[in-house]
Structure 1
Amino acid sequence: MGTLGNITHVIFDLDGLILNTEVLYDVAIQKILDRFDKTYTYDLKMKVMGMKYHKAMELIQKELDIPISPDDLVTESMNNLKELFMKCGTMPGAEKLIRHLEKHNIPMCIATGSSSADYQLKTHSHKDLISLMEFAVRSDDPEVKFGKPNPDIFLLAMSRFKSPPVSSKNCLVLEDAPNGIKAALAAEMMCVMVPDPRLQAIPPAHLVLKSLEEFSPTSFGLPPF
């Protein structure tokens, strides 16, 4: 394979890409839905992945027509998630890639749909790894007007790198969710998708991998492993 791009900066999603948290959301939300004999289907999950959390709960409440407000869904699900988040592990290949890029002084950051409070819980057991990031942009940042699939969070991340002005064409976004890929493409950035194996409709990412263990840095002009 030839070089797909000349990447100088890398933007990571968090959930399902660095940290193995996506399944935890399934458990937390389904625990609530069990009371109403409803199911958090994979198709519904794909619609909300990457959204700001409250917007996601609004869509779930509307789609499943359950007698509970989005606010209550947020509160209950987050209470269910708190303990689970503290025990989450990393996704295959994520730590190796992050440490490799840090070794070669490639600027990195996180752009996540998580709120600041959720982010702190999720990353609590992985502070050493997360500290290698230059910064993190979270969904409750006042400058993030619209969540993924809008490009706001990635464009904001690009603007905050400490190095000289960065071009979107030199940024690589690593994502697991369709909404994240749509946002990256809208930001005119290169993007790699590591989707859930159950996903049927794969958006037009520049590269699709089964896991980050398959990622070859040289494909994007980055230093080889």
Structure 2
Amino acid sequence: MIQLDGIKAVIFDFDGVVIESESIAYQVWCEVLGPYGKNFTEEIYHNVIGRGPLESVEYLIEILGHPLSPQELLETYWSERTERVCRDVSPAPGIIDLMQFLMDRGLVLGVASNSPSRYVIEVLEAMGLAEYFGCVRCREDVVQGKPAADVYLAAAACLEVDHECCLALEDSPIGLQAALNAGMRCIVVPNEDLKGEDFSGAEGRFGSLSGVLAALS
């Protein structure tokens, strides 16, 4: 069981936690890179998960030699991804029940994401989830993205809650490290591509958000 004693806020990662978007992310990268003859393998994708937008494209350009500039690749990818996610993706199973459970107990909720804010906010609004979150902080809101602590600390400050009174929910080792670097407790629900990774330091590891809810109840 996970105790909520002393916890005043829960801060969620976005992709892979609030919404199940990782399969779409992989498909969009394949479609964006394919016309240039670039082979976007699952191994490469594995190394992209959890990185910020600019860090991701810089990594891809470095290893694949993509002809587009980082900014051009960013615009192409995130425009297509936003459209596809809003059209084809649903909230993660169990997320609404979990958020309602937490809010019923007086906790405030936030989002701390390495994705662009325009994407996160547009998707939240399209799915009717924006009303649950008192604050959304994303990669461009901070100096350093995850695994640095910045985005989690920014979300906590926005919610006006001390970082030690925040619980984070993550799906990747990079995100877990960011939460730990921020001095927060962290629960992980690894996505399918990362289940074999090391999540040392997490307070709990679960196969679903329903499992998280059961552990908190």
TM-score, normalised on structure 1?
0.85
**3-state SS of paired residue (2:168):** strand
Question: How many Å separate the matches in 2 of 1:63 and 1:195?
Answer: 26
The amino acid of 1:188's aligned partner reads G
Residue deviations 1:50-95 (CA, integer Å, cap 9, x gap): 3321221111111222333222211221232232122220111111
Cα RMSD of the aligned pairs, angstroms, is: 2.1
The answer as to whether partners of 1:5 and 1:190 remain within 8 angstroms in 2 is no
Contact 1:85 1:121 in 2 (8 A): no
Structure 1 CA distance, aligned partners of 2:116 and 2:170?
17
Structure 1 residues 213 and 178 mapped into 2: Cα distance closer, same or farther (>3 Å)? same
Answer whether contact 1:115 1:138 (CA < 8 A) is retained.
yes
Please state how far the C-alpha of 1:124 moved relative to its aligned partner: 2.8
Tell me what 1:202 maps to: 198
Q: Report deviation, 1:100.
A: 1.2
Partner residue in 1 for 2:104 = 103
Structure 1 counterpart of 2:209, one-letter code: L
Q: For 1:77 and 1:132, how far apart are their aligned partners in 2?
A: 27
**Aligned pair count?**
214
Of 135, 147, 151, the residue aligned with 1:149 is 147
Cα distance in 2 for residues equivalent to 1:25 and 1:146: 22
Structure 1: gaps spanning 5 or more residues: none
Amino acid in structure 2 at the alignment position of 1:201: E
Distance 1:12 1:140 in 2: 17
**For residues 126 and 191 of structure 2, what CA distance do their matches in structure 1 show?**
24
Q: Distance in 2 between matches of 1:118 and 1:76?
A: 13
- Which of 187, 205, 209 is equivalent to 1:212? 209
- Structure 1 residue 156, shift from structure 2 partner: 1.4
Question: Could you say if the C-alpha distance between residues 174 and 67 of structure 1 is closer, same or farther in structure 2, counting changes exceeding 3 Å?
Answer: same
- Provide the C-alpha distance between the structure 2 equivalents of 1:178 and 1:42, rounded to a whole number of angstroms: 17
Q: Is the 8 A contact 1:151 1:184 kept in 2?
A: yes
Match of 2:184 in 1: 189
Q: CA deviation at 1:151?
A: 0.4
Alignment-mate amino acid for residue 161 of structure 1: L
Is there any run of 5+ residues in structure 2 with no aligned partner, and where? Answer: none
1:110–1:137: 8 Å Cα contact kept in structure 2? yes
CA contact 2:50–2:175 (8 Å) conserved in 1 = yes
The DSSP-based 3-state class of the residue aligned with 1:174 is strand
Identity of aligned residues (%): 27
Q: 1:197 to 1:24 in 2, by over 3 A?
A: closer
Answer whether contact 2:148 2:177 (CA < 8 A) is retained: yes
Aligned to 1:172, the other structure's residue is in SS state: strand
Query: For 1:117 and 1:37, how far apart are their aligned partners in 2?
Result: 29
3-state secondary structure, aligned to 1:10: strand
- Higher mean C-alpha displacement, 100-109 vs 196-205: 196-205
Shift of 1:217: 6.3
Deviation, structure 1 residue 98 = 0.6
Higher helix share: 2
Residue pair 2:10, 2:108 contacting (<8 A) in 1 also: yes
